[in-house]
Every structure is written in structure tokens, then in C-alpha cells.
Structure 1
Amino acid sequence: MAIQKILIANRGEIACRVIGTARKLGIKTVAVYSDADREALHVRLADEAVHIGPAPSNQSYIVIDKILDAIRKTGADAVHPGYGFLSENPGFAEALDKAGIIFIGPPVKAIEAMGDKITSKKLAAEAGVSTVPGHMGLIADADEAVRISYSIGYPVMIKASAGGGGKGMRVAWNAEEAREGFQSSKNEAKNAFGDDRIFIEKFVTEPRHIEIQVLGDKHGNCLYLGERECSIQRRNQKVIEEAPSPFLDEATREAMGEQAVALAKAVGYHSAGTVEFIVDGKANTFYFLEMNTRLQVEHPVTELVTGLDLVEQMIRVANGEKLALRQEDVKLNGWAIESRLYAEDPYRNFLPSIGRLTRYRPPQEGEKADGTVLRNDTGVFEGGEISMYYDPMIAKLCTWAKTRGEAVDAMAKALDAFEVEGIGHNLPFLSAVMGQERFRAGRLTTAYIAEEFPDGFAGVTPDAASARILAGFAAVAHHIRESRAVQISGILGNHPRRLGRDWVVTLGDDTYALTLDEGRVQFKTGESLSLETGWKPGETLAEITIDGANAAIKVDIKGMGLRLRWRGIDVIAHVRNPRVAELARLMPKKLPPDTSKMLLCPMPGVITGIAVAEGDVVEAGQPLATVEAMKMENILKAERRGTVKRLAAKPGQSLAVDELILEFE
């Protein structure tokens, strides 16, 4: 192939993803890295690596001159931009073109036309594409944003023109939220993209977010590769995606695909790109939302159902090759689901979490005995650190199966077997979604998370069957541990103790009396189950068989008990003999400390603003402080009326999780 060496102008899992395909094609790779990424996985995997500056992306990854300098140093003849950072920056693509470097992406004019959200909507409207009502002009200040929002009609979506990945996006339901959201969106957009232009459009309620993958070459050929359902979102950030959509019929799929291709051809598009639509689930109508002139985060699900390597296709197109397939050659085979694993604590309203990955053990990739396929795109490793400077994504876990139900089941099992420790993460939340009847039925909208978890995520409460499985495993695990202790005492001492088979298991406030009998767990209430495991003390993942079905439970020692995690459930199990269980019921419960008069930092981050002073009387909902972490602004508000007694932090100060910001009287 003409391309000999690719510099990846990105980091993390997408850089690792590009390196994998380049290696398959026999192409050398160059990684770039900031101070924070010296030991990153993409740096280790690339053939060469170049340091490009301090940790903040606006001083490293999005500084065009630094990327160009790295190209000159290494002799790279092509650049893959990944997504985010400079991937949709026409100035970057133009600079590469002037330097004679191949850009593995679309032409500059297409980026200019479609990469800018405002311009793309105008062009789509001119081309007769149905678009969401909104104000496509630039907005000067918050007052104008409020006036425009009122004229459009609430609710509205406030969006960064150069945005992506959920950054610089806010939904406003009233004037106060429009004013606040406008400023926050501008700040986030400037920090993440170096472009703070904002536009506003009508927020369609009960929508589905469905996007079409397009692929074009430099010879005028363009086709669509089916759709992806991306409706499960939180803070406008996609969390779970799948291909195909459980909603679209063939006629709608074809109409959306043809419209996406027509739009791409209108701007002379080549390479991989995505046309996003908002679909009205009731009327079965769709509206153009935007076009992403780059590879999408969720591209693996399209690869799994089409059998194509999109990164390879991008490289071949950049080399001037014609597409080797026609539209009629594109077949969607089976079903694929992607779960995005984020360094966000679901028990703290999904606030970012940073720190060292003390344990990172994904399930094994590849085809399984049941015919399902597991794939995990990642850019981290055990012992590595999650930085506060970048997107909080840890990995993209994907499963493929012949049917949607089988793909969901495979994902649930894979999440159970995925071990991550040292930081907060959303694995239990993802597991919870997989178990919901509504998700399994495919009844999805972009409001899914808000509707299903209106009070936030507090974990999954086990139903009766799940509780019996956990109680049964806890008893078996305890018996295994105690059997080892008995063996050791018999070897070292003269008084070996006898081990009974009657146990009382406590899960939270619930108690289960049971008997273990040769691979069966017999509950005193009459139920029983067959439970087998090869688990050994010290192992953190237990593979078990329950009445013939396979499962995986995460196991950790927690004081005198066992911490068990399975299907979004997180419980402490205490196993005692009947006499000790009677005495344990008499023990008083330790109450947690009272923090009701404190505002604690909910995540590691930087205080960018304090909105009150000592002595101020604040009302419920009033902004108190702003914390920035992982390129996102988080406004902390008062939960109730009160008087500020003391400020313990100031703007510019970096705080750890649960550090005091201010105290109330």
C-alpha cells in the first residue's frame, strides 16, 4: 500500500484500535502523548512515540503545530485523527494537505460543510432534508439565548457548533436553565474544542437517536452500512449502542440510508462518516440532526454485523482505492451491542472518578462455545491511571449473537466477568440496564435513563431468585474457606474442629437459613438449587453453575463478610452458624456520620467557581460551586435552604472526592 507510516493524532482506545488495523496491513505507526500519557497503552503499542506537551489537551493533543512537528520528526506520511480532538478540524486537515501528508478522513470542504453543526443544518435544509426546528445563527450572549429559546419553545437543546461526545450540550426547560446552560456549554466547548460557538434547537421529546454509517471513496462511490441505535444516553453522552436498531423496519432503514448517502454525495464526501437522525417513535418520521465527519466511537457494532473493518476501509480510501463492495453487497448479519465502560461513579450521580486501576481484567475476547462473539476495545491496563484531563471512557465492551436477545444475554454475562477496581465505574449500571424488561423489549428513547432511573442509580435490589443464588454461593464460598482453615488447623494442631453444613446467610436486612448437601443448597423455606463452583479463596471472580446455567460472581473479602457483585447487585454477605447468627442479631448497627450540613466535592476535580460567600442565605436549587473534571463542568446546587457558615475551598483549588467545599450553619 502507498501509506507506509501512520501517525495517530489521538490517544486511548481509539489510538490502540487504529494501531491494530495498521499492524494487520503492515503499516508502521506513530503515537503522540502528553505528560499524563507517558505510560499509556497506545504509547506502548505503537512503533514510535513522540511527546507533544503538558496534560491539558489544549496544550498538546489539539495543538496543530505540535502534531505537525511530530510528523516531521518521524517521517509519517499519513495521519489518522481518531475521534474528538482534531478529527473534525478543517484547519488541521488543510495543514496536512499543504504539508503533503495524507489525511485518513474526508476532504477539507466536507469537514467545513458538515463538521460544523450550524452549517450542516443549513445545507441539509437546502437539500430538502427534514431538520429539527431551531436557531442556526451564532448567539452573542445568555440574554439572546433566553430570547431565542422562548421563540423556539421549551424544551430546547443548547449545543456547541464544534461539539461532539456530549461536550458542550445542555437541555433547558425554562429561562433559568437556558441562561445557565448557555454559559456552561460555551465554557465546555472552548475547553474541549477551542471553539465556543453555540446554537439552539428544539428538543424533541420521546425521540430515538438513530445514526447511519456511510462510507465513500474518492471516485464518487458512496454507500450506507446500516444503522446504529444510540438512544440510551446520559447527559447527551451515548452509553449503550446496538446494530441494527430494534425499531426500524426495512423501508425506513432504506429511506434513511439513501438520504444519508445523498447528503454525503452533495458535499463530495469520502472516507467513513455518520449521519445522525432523531426519529419520532410514534410517527415513524426522522429528522436530520448532524453529520460526524469522522469515525464514531460506536463503530465496532457496525463492524460486527457487516464483517467490515472500517479503519481499514478508511486507510484504503485515503490511498485512492475504490470501494470493493456495492450497496447490494452490504448485509446485516446478527445483532451487536456495545456498552461503554466509563470512569464514572453511578452511585454519585455518575460523576467522574480518577485514580489507579488496581485491577483491570476484561473477559476473554473471541468466539465463545455458544457461537456468540466478545470484543473489548480499550486503551488502559491494570496498574495504569485514569486521568482527570480526558474523556472518562475506559473500554467499549461489545457482544455479537444471531439474535438481539442472545446478544443481550452475552453482554450481561460479559459485564459480570469484567473486573475493574481502584476507581468508580459504571459496570453495575450497565448490568442493571441489561436486566431491565423495557430494554430487553427494545422500547428505547433518549429519555430512557431519566425515566428508568429518575432518582439516580442506587444499585439493583435482588429479587427472591437472585437473593437465593447469592446466599447459596456465599454459603458455599464460606464453607470452602472454612474447610481450608480446618485442614490447616488439623495439620498444625492437636484439636481439629468439625465443620457443620447448616448456615445462616445475611444479605443486607434479609436472612436465609440453609443447609449444604453435596452440591445442593437446601433453604429452610423449602426452595433448593444446584450450585457448583471451582472457586478458591483469594480468587476475585467465581465461575459457577446454577441449576445447569453458567454465571460469574465477583468476590472480595469485606471484613468478616464477602462482598458479592452480580447483575448490578452489590451486597455484603455474612455467613454464620445458627448460634452465632442468633447473637449477631443483638448487635447494634453503626450509623454513618452526619454530612447534611456540608457540601463535599463529589469527584476529584478543580474548583472553577464559588457562587456564594460566608453568611449568605441560599435557597434550594441555588448554585453553590462549580467543579470541572474530565472536560465537563458540574454545577453543585443547594439541596435545601440554609446559611453558609464557612468556605473551605477557593477557585483554582484541586480537591479529592469528599473534600469539604463549604459548611452550613
Structure 2
Amino acid sequence: MFKKILIANRGEIACRVIKTARKMGIATVAVYSDADRDAVHVEMADEAILIGPPPAAQSYLLPEKIIAACLETGAEAVHPGYGFLSERASFPTLLKQNGIVFIGPNSRAIEAMGDKIESKKFANAARVTTVPGFLGVIESPDHAVQLANEIGYPVMIKASAGGGGKGMRIAWNDVECREGFQLSKNEAAASFGDDRVFVEKFIVDPRHIEIQVLGDKHGNVIYLGERECSIQRRNQKVIEEAPSPLLDEATRRKMGEQAVALAKAVDYDSAGTVEFVADQNKNFYFLEMNTRLQVEHPVTELVTGIDLVEQMIRVAAGEPLSLKQSEVTLTGWAVESRIYAEDPLRSFLPSIGRLVRYRPPEEGSDGDITVRNDTGVVEGSEISMYYDPMIAKLVTHAPTRLEAIDAQADALDAFVIDGIQHNIPFLTALHQHPRWREARLSTGFIKEEFPDGFHPLTPAPEDRRILALVALAVEILRRDRLDNLPGRLRPHNGVLREDWVVRLEGEYIHIKVPSGFVGVPVEFSAILDGESVETTVSSRWFPGDLLWVGEIGETPVTVQVRPVLNGVELRYRGATTIAKVLMPKTAALDALMPIKAPPDMSKYLLCPMPGQIVSIDVVDGEDVKAGQTLAVVEAMKMQNVLRAERDCKVKACRAKAGDSLAVDAVIIEFE
């Protein structure tokens, strides 16, 4: 077994590999760019080597930097994680030439299956069912349009190299095909250093199901069940689960055996994933093979009990698989949510900055529920513009699918992130969506259910009831503390009012507390408007705590609490609301107060996220039509097209190509 390995990656996957290596008694070496000097993976590893400036093309994507770090530290093997060099076929060869072992598949397997175009050609030759398409390289927008018309719309334009949803566009007509071709090429070049793209038929109402395979250097290959990754946005997976609610045992076996046959055909010798697209009738087609560890591997680990990173290391060291196919069992259900630094209210555009607060839910098992959080940041970490915006992967495991989903929603309620925008409210909304809970899935789920984008959630009626009681509990405890301070700051100390009003989402909720209140832990009974039965409220919350954890009646409740002027901000089940606790007379006057209108910014095109202007596509004085491209902004390797929402005239362009802008900076002013 290896004594020391190097992790040629960063962030949460580097931390994930280090944890397993530490468990196995293997020393670790981290590599880092200037932007990652203070990163968690650097602190966790036994040694760390600086390899260059922040851009990945000048650091993490340079094989010679990785090899030099190995030779300097004496690392015997390299784990590539995912992304970066993990699927570059030349990398294992270069390592071998320098006496270093690659913890991943052999170069031939990567070359045959890691390139989407070549993998489809190989799959066709191996008689694996594939999606109809053109497997050659598309040379021009006209060529793309010609092929799309031959195949028939809709089509998917995809980058040949890499993964992670980058360099992928769905086109429904010639205009979208031309634009998608150029955007896919640009993103592929920026993300993978390879701008080749291809086109294939887009299966309508598809489901994305993948089989985890594991092979060794002795010809043994097994499959470890499947994952369903149908909840996607812009071809980027958002929620994954294992097993798939679509498959029956016969279909699972058929897909698994086909995946194993394909892996054996290329002498696959590590962890890898064979991806399929399936229709609602369980017909499936080979999509591609990812010759690396997948982002969503934790759900497979939780339902199988197998540490995939450990298996990769053991296989790389020459050990045969210790498992047989008959010994692989799937137990319970696991769900994973990807937590991103992005603003769901601004079309999910990236958000960068410092994590002022970062308090993930507690990991571990409680009864039948397990919570796991794979992350590479801590409170105070910086979310950089140079890398993928994923902050963490929150995973829950339970005996059944709905129990795992409910556990995920509870864990998201307890996940505190401040300082940047994030997608937790959106994830929470997804986990409460009836269609998701009923497993009526397709890769078009998000586009179909959120056609106008994601808008701020408002608390459901039952949730408003809960939040009103939480707000009252917070205010009563605050006032009780003031009453009992030395010097007795309040002249009416020692007297608890019975009648209260909580203003929540424009609604005034009257609450009566007839039987008094006990200090920490808070315990009291209350009667809400229109109810005749008292509801008990109990919690050990103390002023300053970010989480109010307690019970409303018999229901466990976790609410994020932040003080604001004259009230408290509450975050629960994806909704954020301001609650004010008032006396009845004050509430009557409050209802008469005017509401301040926000300023009109409709005459400006504002930069939706921190990023660099790629192009300004209009000029001063130009008349533009609704839908016309105004500018392209790039952040975190993704190009975002900003289009006119209505017919208008450009008064002045306030930015130019190459400018780096902050969020809400003015790009264009209209007349």
C-alpha cells in the first residue's frame, strides 16, 4: 500500500480524499494556487505545495506542476478527484514515466471512454444502444444547423471533453442551434482547453440514470447500483439520489450488466460511471462514461456501505476487488443536494465573496437518519471567481425515499450561510415540491416547474403559524431578559402580557398567552386567531443563537433567526420573512403606515453578478428589440447572455469588453 499520495485537486473533493487516506494511514500532499493559500484542503493535508496563480490553466491544469510536486514530496501516487486533470488521457502516462501511480483508470480506458465523441463510436462498435446523433466534430454554425435538421429538433450540442454540465446547450430551432454552437465551443475551451463539440438527438421528457462501476487490474468489474440525477439546471445536476425510483430490479440488472460489459471492453480498472438517458417507459440509451469519481458518489456510498475512494486507492495499489457482484446490496435511500454560491433570484448567477457565517448541520446518525456534509470551506473562507461555485454536498440517508427527503429538508433548514448568496432556498423548495416527492421526474423538471425562474418563497399558512409562534417566543425571552437585568430597565418588569400581535408577510396574527412563560428553556402555551385549543411552544434557544430549535406542539422545528431593526428575520422551509411582535394598539397603528416603494431601475441593464464583460453587442443610440442580445458576461467559466426584455433604445453603454464589474454595476443605460 502507498505511504504517501498527492491530491491533484482542490475544494471538497480534495478534503474527501484526504479523509479516506487518513483513515487508511496514508500521508497526503495538497497542491494549491495563490487563491487557495488558506483553503481547508491545504490545512488538512500533511504537506502542501504551491503550484501557481489562481487561473486553473496556470496551476491545477498543468501536469508538470503536479509531477514536480510529487517528486519534491516523495508522493507515490496521485488521486485526481474530478474535473481538472482527472480525464486527460496523457496524464496517467506522464505520471508513469516519472514512476508515479495514477489513482484512476488506465490511459486506454480514458482515451476510449473519456471523450464523448470517441466513447459513442466505441459503444456503437460494442453494440451498446446509443442516442442518435452525429459523432464527428462540428466545424461551423452552418454545419451544426445542417446536422440538427437531419437529426430533427430538439438536439443537444455538447462539448466533447469534460463534464459538469459545461459546454452543453439544447436547441429547438436554427437560431438556438447557431447560438448554442458558439456558446458551447467557448465554454468548452475555457473549461477544458478543448473546443470540440458534437450534436445528438435530445430525448423528450428524459431521465438521467447512471451506473457506478468498479474494476481492478485483474479483470474483475462489478456495478454498485444506480443513481438518478434527473433534477438538473442547465445540464448541471442539482439533486441526486440512489437508488432510482424509476427502475425495477430487472431493468437495474440489465443496465448494470451492460455497463460492466462496456467497462470490461476497455479493461477498466478503477471507479467509473456509465451514464444513460432513459424514457418514462424504462427504455435506456448509453450517453457517456465518466472515467473518474463522480460528484454524486456519496449517495452510492451510503446505500452500499462501500468507500469508493478507498476502493480506488486499493485498486491502484494492485489489490484485487474484495467484493463480488452477489455481495453488493442496496440498503435504504440516499439523497444529495448540491449547495452552490449562486443567487437563485438572479437566474442562478454566481455569487462570490467571503463566508461571514458557515454553520452546516451536524453530521452523523440519529436513529435511522444519517446526515453527511462533504465540503471544502469553513467560516471565513473565500468563494473565488476562478473555480466552480459549489460550496458543499449535503447528503441524507434513511430507510425510505420520503424519509430521506424530509431529513434533507430539515438539514437544509439548519444550514446557515451568510456573506454570499446561495441556493438553499431553491433546494428547500424542490424538496417540498409534490412532483419531486412523487418521483414524477425528468431532466426538464426545473424548467417546467419554474418556467419564469425562481421567486422568493412565502411561508405556507401552516408555516406562518409556526413562524408567528417562534417570533413570539424570541420576543418574550428578549423582554424577559430586559426585565431581569440589574437596574430593572423596564418599568413594567415582572408582568407578562397575554395579548400579542405578530406581523408576518403583511398579515397580523393575534396570539394569546394565558398561562405565563418560563425562561430558558422556553415553555408556554398559546392560542392563535381562530383556534380554540392551546398550542405548546418549547425551546432551548437563547438570544444570539442562529438556530431556534424546539417543538411547536409535537412537531420538531428548526428556524434560522437573525435580529433586524424592530423585528427578527426568520428562515424556514426555504422562505425568508421579517416578523415583528407588537402590542395590539401598536399593531393597529402599524397597519396605517405607508409602504416605501423601491427605486425604478428599469432604464438600466445591471450586471447580475460579479464577472467580466465578454462583449457589448449594441452601440449608443441603437434601437433594440425584445430578446436581442445586449451583452455577454462571464463568471466561474460560464458565459451568460443578457438579452433585452422589451423594445427600447440605447442611451449609453457604460461598460466595455474586458471590464470586471461588481454585482448591480450599470452596463447599459436606456432612454
TM-score range, shorter chain: over 0.9
Counterpart selection for 1:644 from 635, 642, 650: 650
CA distance in structure 2 between the partners assigned to 1:613 and 1:464 by the alignment? 49
CA distance in structure 2 between the partners assigned to 1:58 and 1:502 by the alignment? 64
Does 1:481 pair with 2:475? no
CA distance in structure 2 between the partners assigned to 1:548 and 1:252 by the alignment? 42
Alignment of 1:589-608 (within 5 A): 589-608=595-614
CA distance in structure 2 between the partners assigned to 1:404 and 1:105 by the alignment? 32
Q: Secondary structure at the match of 1:488?
A: coil
Q: Secondary structure at the match of 1:649?
A: coil
Q: Which amino acid aligns with 1:521?
A: A
CA distance in structure 2 between the partners assigned to 1:240 and 1:514 by the alignment? 39
Give me the identity figure in percent: 62
Render the CA deviation track for 1:498-556: whole Å, top value 9, x for unaligned. 44131111112222111124422211222653221121222111102021121210011
**Could you tell me which residue of structure 2 aligns to residue 358 of structure 1?**
356
**Could you tell me which residue of structure 2 aligns to residue 618 of structure 1?**
624
Does 1:397 pair with 2:394? yes
Shift of 1:558: 1.9
Q: Which amino acid aligns with 2:287?
A: L
Shift of 1:487: 2.3
Does 1:513 pair with 2:510? yes
Render the CA deviation track for 1:210-258: whole Å, top value 9, x for unaligned. 0000000000000000000100000100010010011100000000000
Shift of 1:597: 0.8
**Could you tell me which residue of structure 1 aligns to residue 184 of structure 2?**
185
Quick one: structure 1 residues 596 and 325, their matched pair in 2 at CA, closer, same or farther if it must change by over 3 Å? same
**Could you tell me which residue of structure 2 aligns to residue 57 of structure 1?**
56
Counterpart selection for 1:524 from 525, 529, 534: 529
Does 1:562 pair with 2:585? no
Shift of 1:416: 0.6
Q: Which amino acid aligns with 1:216?
A: G
Does 1:344 pair with 2:355? no
Q: Which amino acid aligns with 1:470?
A: L
Quick one: structure 1 residues 207 and 641, their matched pair in 2 at CA, closer, same or farther if it must change by over 3 Å? same
Shift of 1:493: 6.9
Counterpart selection for 1:628 from 620, 634, 650: 634
**Could you tell me which residue of structure 2 aligns to residue 128 of structure 1?**
127
Quick one: structure 1 residues 588 and 494, their matched pair in 2 at CA, closer, same or farther if it must change by over 3 Å? closer
Q: Secondary structure at the match of 1:405?
A: helix
More displaced stretch, 292-301 vs 177-186 = 177-186
CA distance in structure 2 between the partners assigned to 1:277 and 1:530 by the alignment? 50
More displaced stretch, 522-531 vs 477-486 = 522-531
CA distance in structure 2 between the partners assigned to 1:97 and 1:170 by the alignment? 37
Shift of 1:460: 2.5
Does 1:255 pair with 2:260? no
Shift of 1:489: 7.3
CA distance in structure 2 between the partners assigned to 1:412 and 1:373 by the alignment? 13
Q: Which amino acid aligns with 1:597?
A: K
Quick one: structure 1 residues 495 and 507, their matched pair in 2 at CA, closer, same or farther if it must change by over 3 Å? closer
Render the CA deviation track for 1:281-339: whole Å, top value 9, x for unaligned. 1x220000000000000000000010000000000000110000100000001111101
**Could you tell me which residue of structure 1 aligns to residue 448 of structure 2?**
451
Counterpart selection for 2:317 from 312, 316, 319: 319
Q: Secondary structure at the match of 2:513?
A: strand
Does 1:298 pair with 2:296? yes
Shift of 1:462: 2.1
CA contact (8 A) 1:35 1:54 kept: yes
CA contact (8 A) 2:18 2:44 kept: yes
CA distance in structure 2 between the partners assigned to 1:257 and 1:497 by the alignment? 69
Shift of 1:371: 2.0
CA distance in structure 2 between the partners assigned to 1:88 and 1:109 by the alignment? 11
Q: Secondary structure at the match of 1:462?
A: coil
Shift of 1:152: 1.2
CA distance in structure 2 between the partners assigned to 1:544 and 1:347 by the alignment? 30
Which 4+ runs in 1 deviate beyond 3 A? Answer: 492-499
CA distance in structure 2 between the partners assigned to 1:186 and 1:496 by the alignment? 70
**Could you tell me which residue of structure 1 aligns to residue 144 of structure 2?**
145
CA contact (8 A) 2:231 2:237 kept: yes
Q: TM-score, normalised by structure 1?
A: 0.98
CA distance in structure 1 between the partners assigned to 2:379 and 2:490 by the alignment? 40
Q: Secondary structure at the match of 1:621?
A: coil
CA distance in structure 2 between the partners assigned to 1:631 and 1:522 by the alignment? 54
Q: Which amino acid aligns with 1:155?
A: P
Render the CA deviation track for 1:364-421: whole Å, top value 9, x for unaligned. 11111x3211110000000010001100000000011111111111111111111111
CA distance in structure 1 between the partners assigned to 2:213 and 2:609 by the alignment? 38
Q: Which amino acid aligns with 1:152?
A: I
CA distance in structure 2 between the partners assigned to 1:300 and 1:464 by the alignment? 35
Quick one: structure 1 residues 111 and 494, their matched pair in 2 at CA, closer, same or farther if it must change by over 3 Å? closer
Q: Which amino acid aligns with 1:529?
A: T
Quick one: structure 1 residues 235 and 27, their matched pair in 2 at CA, closer, same or farther if it must change by over 3 Å? same
CA distance in structure 2 between the partners assigned to 1:492 and 1:231 by the alignment? 58
More displaced stretch, 130-139 vs 456-465 = 456-465
**Could you tell me which residue of structure 2 aligns to residue 377 of structure 1?**
374
Structure 1 unmatched ranges of 5 or more: none
Quick one: structure 1 residues 483 and 109, their matched pair in 2 at CA, closer, same or farther if it must change by over 3 Å? same
CA contact (8 A) 2:186 2:195 kept: yes
CA distance in structure 2 between the partners assigned to 1:338 and 1:149 by the alignment? 35
More displaced stretch, 544-553 vs 99-108 = 544-553
CA contact (8 A) 1:31 1:50 kept: yes
**Could you tell me which residue of structure 2 aligns to residue 504 of structure 1?**
501
Quick one: structure 1 residues 495 and 334, their matched pair in 2 at CA, closer, same or farther if it must change by over 3 Å? closer
**Could you tell me which residue of structure 1 aligns to residue 270 of structure 2?**
271
CA distance in structure 2 between the partners assigned to 1:166 and 1:627 by the alignment? 18
CA contact (8 A) 1:489 1:495 kept: no
Q: Secondary structure at the match of 1:162?
A: coil
Please report the RMSD computed on the Cα atoms of aligned residues, expressed in angstroms. 1.2
Does 1:386 pair with 2:383? yes
**Could you tell me which residue of structure 1 aligns to residue 546 of structure 2?**
540
CA contact (8 A) 1:476 1:516 kept: no
The count of corresponding residues between Structure 1 and Structure 2 is: 662
Shift of 1:163: 2.4
CA distance in structure 2 between the partners assigned to 1:492 and 1:207 by the alignment? 65
Shift of 1:28: 0.9
Q: Secondary structure at the match of 2:52?
A: coil
Q: Which amino acid aligns with 1:309?
A: D
